[in-house]
Amino acid sequence: MARQVCLGPPKLRPQKCLSLSIHVKASYRSGTNAEQAHRRAVLEIMNKYISIQKVRFSKTVVGVQQHPGKVILKFADGGTAEASILVGADGIKSTVRKHVLGPLYTSQVEPVYGNSYCYRGMIPISEAKEIFGNLTDVAKMYVGEKRCCVTYMISKGEQFNFLLCALDDKPWGLKNSVSQKISHGAMMADFEGPEVDERFRRLLREARPVKWGFLHHRYTSTYYRDRVVLLGDSAHVSLPFQAAGAGQGLEDSLILSNLLARIYHAPDQGAALAPYISAGLVAYDAIRRPRAQKQLERAYEMSHMLHFQHPETGKTLDKIASKLQRQWFDWIWFHDLNADIDAAFHKIYEALNA
C-alpha cells in the first residue's frame, strides 16, 4: 500500500494525509433534486408499463441468425422466435453483442478489465450514522491513493449504500465472471494500513466478501449489424464512477423506442421496410454511440482521478474537486434528449430521401 493512502473527510484525517469528501450529487447544484433509489424499486415502477402478455420469462438466447427480412432467435430450451428487429439488452455478458461485433470486430466482443474492483454493501441508515454521523446525509466520494469510497442513501433514506474500491495492477483472472468470492480476511487486508481511516474499515466489515471487477467495453465500432441492435450494458458497459451506466441505457431506450415507432408506422411494410430499418439503426448508432462511449471514457478518467493517478490532478485535492465540481457532470445530466430524438428523425429523413 502506498505511503500516503488516506480515505477520510478533512476533519478525520491526519494533517499530512490527502483526503477529500465531495458532494457529487445531492449538493451538486441548488435546484438539482437528485434522489437515489433501490434498483428493485425502479424496476417495479417500470414493470407497470409493460404489458405482461407480451413478456416471456426464463428464456435464454443462445443463438441469433439473420435472414432476408427477419431475425431468428434460438433459446436454450430448444424454442425459437422470429422478429423483424432484435434489440439485445442482455448485459455485460451479451450473446447478442457477439452476433453484432463477432464477424468484423472480434477483439471488441468481450469487456476488458478497467484495473479496479470494489466491495459493496448496504446497511440500515441507523448503523451508518453510528459510523459516519451526519456525513451520511448526502452522496459522497472519498478519494485516496489507489483506493476510494462512494457512499449514498437509497430507499428514501432508510438504507446506506457503499462501494469501497481499489485500483489493481494485476489482470482480472476470471474469464466468465465479474465477481469473485474471497475470504473476509483477504477483503479486509485490501484496506489495511495506518493511513486508512478506521471508519472505512468498519464499513468494509459490513460488506460481502465478494470482489466485483470493473470491466468496460472500451472500444465498440458499431451498436448494430443489419437488423440486430445493442442497448444498455450490452453496447457500452462502463466503470461505475459517474453513476451513469443505467442512465445511458435509458437514453438508448428513449432514442431507439422513438425510432422503432417511426419504423413501425412507415408507409411501406413487409420487405419494403428494410430501408427504414437500416436508416433507423444507422441513426441510432450515430446519435447514441458517441455519447455513450464518451461517458465510458470519462468514467475511466474519473477512476484515475479518484485513485490519485490522473496526470492533471495527481494527489492535489483542490484540483480534483475543482475538476469534478466544475461542469464535469453537466453534459451528462443536462443534455437535451428531445434534440437527440429530432436529430435521429432528421437522419432517417435524410437517408430515405438521399
Ligand X SMILES: Cc1cc2nc3c(=O)[nH]c(=O)nc-3n(C[C@H](O)[C@H](O)[C@H](O)COP(=O)(O)OP(=O)(O)OC[C@H]3O[C@@H](n4cnc5c(N)ncnc54)[C@H](O)[C@@H]3O)c2cc1C
Cite the active site residues.
120, 152
The residues facing 112 across adjacent strands are 216
The whole-angstrom separation of Cα 172 and Cα 180 is 10
At 144, list the grid cell.
485516496
Helix (H), strand (E) at residue 120 = strand 112-124
3-state SS, one letter per residue, for 227-263: CEEECCHHHHCCCHHHCCHHHHHHHHHHHHHHHHHHH
**Measured from the CB atom, is 59 or 205 closer to ligand X?**
59
The whole-angstrom separation of Cα 156 and Cα 65 is 45
**Measured from the CB atom, is 74 or 319 closer to ligand X?**
74
Q: Which of 90, 110, 127, 206 forms a contact with ligand X (CB under 6 A)?
A: 90
266 binds ligand X (CB under 6 A): no
- Gap between the terminal Cα atoms of the chain: 60
The burial of 204, by beta-carbon neighbours within 10 Å (0-12 exposed, 13-18 middle, 19 or more buried), is given as buried
254 binds ligand X (CB under 6 A): no
Q: How far is the CB of 19 from ligand X (least distance, A)?
A: 22
At 230, list the grid cell.
445493442
Q: Which of 8, 114, 144, 249 forms a contact with ligand X (CB under 6 A)?
A: 249
Q: Tell me which residue has its CB nearest to ligand X.
A: 232
Q: How far is CA 130 from CA 14, 38, 202, 209, in A?
A: 21, 22, 10, 22
**Tell me, what amino acid is at 96?**
V
**Measured from the CB atom, is 142 or 276 closer to ligand X?**
142
- The window from 42-50, 217-225, 243-251, 337-345 that contacts ligand X (CB under 6 A) reads 243-251
179 binds ligand X (CB under 6 A): no
The whole-angstrom separation of Cα 222 and Cα 293 is 11
- The window from 10-18, 91-99, 103-111, 302-310 that contacts ligand X (CB under 6 A) reads 91-99
- The window from 44-52, 180-188, 221-229, 240-248 that contacts ligand X (CB under 6 A) reads 240-248
**Measured from the CB atom, is 38 or 315 closer to ligand X?**
38
Query: Which positions from 99 to 138 touch ligand X by CB under 6 A, shown as an x/- string?
Result: -------------------x--------------------
Q: How far is the CB of 242 from ligand X (least distance, A)?
A: 8
Q: How far is the CB of 279 from ligand X (least distance, A)?
A: 24
Query: Which positions from 29 to 68 touch ligand X by CB under 6 A, shown as an x/- string?
Result: ------------------------------xxx-------
351 binds ligand X (CB under 6 A): no
**Measured from the CB atom, is 244 or 324 closer to ligand X?**
244
Q: Which of 244, 260, 302, 324 forms a contact with ligand X (CB under 6 A)?
A: 244
80 binds ligand X (CB under 6 A): no
The whole-angstrom separation of Cα 148 and Cα 303 is 9
229 binds ligand X (CB under 6 A): no
Q: Which of 240, 276, 280, 292 forms a contact with ligand X (CB under 6 A)?
A: 240
Is the backbone of residue 156 left (phi > 0), alpha (psi -120 to 50) or beta?
left
Q: Which residues contact 11 (CB under 8 A, 6 or more apart)?
A: none
Buried/exposed 155-194: b ≥16 CB within 10 Å, e otherwise: beeebbbbbbbbbbeeebeeeeebeeeeeeeebeebbeee
The burial of 78, by beta-carbon neighbours within 10 Å (0-12 exposed, 13-18 middle, 19 or more buried), is given as exposed
245 binds ligand X (CB under 6 A): yes
Q: How far is the CB of 90 from ligand X (least distance, A)?
A: 4
The footprint of ligand X (CB under 6 A) covers 59-61, 89-92, 95, 118, 163, 212, 232-233, 240, 243-247, 249
